[in-house]
Amino acid sequence: MDSREAAVWRHQERQLEDLRREEAALNAPGEGKLPIAGGASVEKRSADGSYQVKDTETHVIKIQAEPSNSYMRIKQLVAGGGAGAITKTAVAPLERVKILLQVQGMKMADRSKSDFKYRGVLGTMRTVLKEEGVLALYKGNGANVLRVVPVYALKFTFNDTFKDMVRTSNEPLSFGQLIMAGTLAGLFQTCVTYPLETVRTRLTLGSGLGVQFNGITDVLVQTVRKEGIAGLYKGIGPTFLSGSPYVGLQMTFYEIFKRRLEGRQDGQSVLTIQVEKLLAGASAGVIAQTITYPGDTIRRRMQMNGMNGEAKLYKNSWECSKLLVQREGFAGLFNGLGANLIRCLPGAAIQFWAYDFLNALIKDL
């Protein structure tokens, strides 16, 4: 390539870059010519998504275009949903143990804490295995996977979307911008998927706490018949106050940890890089879970409050918090935190690793 051809190449690359900044041009459907500066034209080939740049002197180059925003979002949805299914199935036994420890206090409100049926992570696992069998550790996981596929798909996609919206320059997003994007992602995702969370919680309890449903459909039918549509949204208030900040904190800390790791990954093996990503995800999850856990406990109890037409134990989330602390102490807000952190370590690590892995896997599709 001589100097003149090189100059033409650079000129055409600049023209294409100008075109890429024009969203309407990038998203133009079908096949046709799009005019750009300098008398050149760009032909969009819909078959492979590439562009031909042709200048006034008939020099032609072919450059692969970036995928459209809508197509990128679809791939993010697929990656997020896949990451959710992998993650929740891997940690389902710990998820059930955590919920049993969280809500048993409301089923035994007239007894002392020493009479509680489930004690600690290992003790609860032994009790469940003895009374209900191995498969009982996965009770509610089907509903949970159905829940987390849209939850994770929307969580990651909304987060990426809001990150683009709050970006004001080419500089990395600040801590505040990351928190804002993640929290908004959690808020929007919760509004869409919350009924599935209620179904999953009720299925998870099982016969050990006197709760018996015959699958997802049975939970939906009984809940709506006895408590109305509003029954599917019990506890959504504390979820807004804990779940949305949780997503914001989790996404933010993972982004910060990942940035620091990426700055020193030159020369490292692929295995080391993947392990560091897992550790970054685990650390982000532990921090976010610990900070927001009391709100999660209140949410679980409000989801069970007045279930199946029973008398309500709490009028609202505030009364639930107050009575819980009176009966079980401040530590009652953190019932099940040990199981949750054990679950969270692999869970948070796997979800971010799986999302990055699946995103990279389908990036070129």
Name the β-bridge partners of 62.
Answer: 52
Mean pLDDT by 10 residues, the chain (365 residues): 54 59 48 48 47 49 56 83 86 84 68 73 89 87 80 88 90 93 92 84 68 81 89 83 89 92 76 87 92 87 78 86 90 85 83 86 76
**The pLDDT value given to residue 174:** 93
Amino acid present at 129: L
CB 253 within 8 A of CB 310: no
Same domain? For 60 and 91 the reply is no
Same domain? For 39 and 78 the reply is no
Domain range for residue 352? 69-362
Residues 146-201: tens digit of each pLDDT: 878 888 888 888 999 999 999 988 888 999 999 999 999 999 988 888 888 888 77
Same domain? For 187 and 38 the reply is no
Q: How far apart are CA 116 and CA 205, in angstroms?
A: 15
Three-class DSSP category at 66: coil
Same domain? For 238 and 166 the reply is yes
Three-class DSSP category at 263: coil
- Overall domain count for the chain: 2
Amino acid present at 205: L
Q: How far apart are CA 100 and CA 201, in angstroms?
A: 9
Instruction: Tell me which residue of 318, 265, 288, 334 sits closest to 105, measured CA to CA.
Output: 334
Same domain? For 57 and 75 the reply is no
For tokens 């909304």, name the residue: 158
Same domain? For 30 and 74 the reply is no
Kind plus residue range of the DSSP H or E element containing 310: none
Same domain? For 80 and 59 the reply is no
Which of 40, 64, 88 is a domain's end point?
64
**The pLDDT value given to residue 107:** 59
CB 300 within 8 A of CB 198: no
Which of 48, 64, 80 is a domain's end point?
64
**The pLDDT value given to residue 106:** 65
**The pLDDT value given to residue 19:** 56
Same domain? For 79 and 152 the reply is yes
**The pLDDT value given to residue 261:** 85
Residues 76-120: tens digit of each pLDDT: 888 888 888 888 888 888 888 888 887 777 655 566 666 678 888
Same domain? For 155 and 208 the reply is yes
Which of 34, 64, 94 is a domain's end point?
64
User: In angstroms, what CA-CA distances link 33 with 28, 65, 300?
Assistant: 10, 15, 57
**The pLDDT value given to residue 24:** 45
**The pLDDT value given to residue 25:** 46
Q: CB neighbours (10 Å) of residue 322?
A: 12
Three-class DSSP category at 210: coil
Same domain? For 154 and 34 the reply is no
Same domain? For 24 and 74 the reply is no
- CATH number reported for the structural domain that contains residue 154 in this entry: 1.50.40.10
Q: How far apart are CA 287 and CA 42, in angstroms?
A: 49
Same domain? For 19 and 117 the reply is no
**The pLDDT value given to residue 49:** 47
